[in-house]
Amino acid sequence: KNIELKKFIDKDTRTQDGVTMKILANISSENDINLMLENGGEGIGLFRTEFIYINSKTLPSEETQYKIYSNIAQKNKDKLFIIRTLDIGGDKSIDYLNIKKEENPFLGFRAIRYCLKNPDIFKAQISAILRASTYGNIKFMIPMIATLMELRSAKKLIDEVKNELESKGIPFCKDTQIGMMIETPSAAMMVDRFVKEVDFFSIGTNDLTQYLFAADRMNEQVAYLNSSFHPQLLKVVKDIVDCSKSNGIEVDICGHAGENPYLIPLWVAMGVDNLSVSIPSILAVRQQICNTNKKDLAPVLEKVLAFDDAYEVEEYLKTKFQF
Ligand code: PEP
Ligand code: MG
């Protein structure tokens, strides 16, 4: 089985009827890059930079971050390298960042919310990313955006840092793209406005599900609500993808649902551009997509969206596709 999979290492990800996608990797450290390349990753769709902070006893300096981002970019050659800015808070806390204990951390001071209130920390990261951008195909990705104001504020800070670098004569890639994660229902509902102000979307289905269903993703008691088979989730994802397509921007999935073999036919049918998955899944996802025909999947998607509940979707997909 492994030998079969290895054949897909250098292959493009292309359906039988010629639709291409990219299978990217979710990584959390510089150490992941070799494994990612050995597993045929076509780039990095999500670098969870919070792990740089989590693994450090003190605030990581701009210089430390610059080295990490530029090292990864160099090893990754000119492949896509999407760097998610600090997504801290929620379940991931760090002593030196002084985030107070919260009643509802997943609804609290996390990710972009924290970064906008701590512009010095945010700007150091932005500066490190921009400086590394001369080494590869780097893109910014902003997590947990809920309002246009947040997005605009983040973009304004990126512009400020660009001006500062420019005035110091420090090189960076001027047209570094800026994308956002869609993982709050409020962003999903206004996707038609956000689409005008970003270069790409990446759907964070883990958080999007938790927030759509108001169900803590860490709480076993409500795990049935955190299923990716809910027609509500699938409908939202389809709306986001449709909107991205009609506005000509790229749309990726970087949550766990992106690598679920029963759901992959739906992502193909919708026209998702890239799937960013955990490293051990890359080749299996590519193999599966290479064996599908997009044309056959439209009726499957239509059928799934007409179901009333997750268990029906799951039952149907598990009967139709056997792995
Ligand atoms: C997500 O929410 O789907 C996601 C990819 O981000 P994280 O799991 O790191 O919150
Ligand atoms: Mg998330």
Q: Is 207 annotated as a binding residue?
A: yes
Closest residue (by CA) to atom 6 of ligand 1? 204
Residue 75, H or E segment? helix 62-75
Instruction: Compute the distance from residue 171 Cα to the ligand 2 centre, in Å.
Output: 31
DSSP character string of 180-233: EEE-SHHHHHTHHHHTTT-SEEEE-HHHHHHHHTT--TT-GGGGGGG-TT-HHH
**How many whole angstroms from its chain centre is CA 88?**
15
For the CA of 203, the nearest ligand: 1
**What 3-state DSSP class applies to 146?**
coil
pLDDT at 275: 98
- Tell me the pLDDT tens digit for each residue of 9-36: 999 999 999 999 999 999 999 999 999 9
- Per the confidence metrics, is the pTM higher than 0.95? yes
From the list 161, 163, 313, 154, the residue with the least C-alpha distance to 237 is 313
Instruction: Compute the distance from residue 278 Cα to the ligand 1 centre, in Å.
Output: 12
pLDDT at 98: 83
For the CA of 218, the nearest ligand: 1
Pocket (CB within 6 angstroms of ligand 1): 46, 48, 87, 183, 204-207, 254-255
Q: Which residues in the chain show pLDDT less than 50?
A: none
- Bridge partners of residue 165, in order along the sequence: none
**Residue 204 Cα: closest atom of ligand 1:** 3
pLDDT at 323: 83
**How many whole angstroms from its chain centre is CA 9?**
22
Q: Is 76 annotated as a binding residue?
A: no
CA-to-CA separations, 28 to 49, 59, 112, 217, 255, in angstroms, rounded? 7, 17, 18, 20, 14
* Rounded (10°) angle between helices 294-306 and 231-246: 130
- Tell me the pLDDT tens digit for each residue of 221-273: 999 999 999 999 999 999 999 999 999 999 999 999 999 999 999 999 999 99
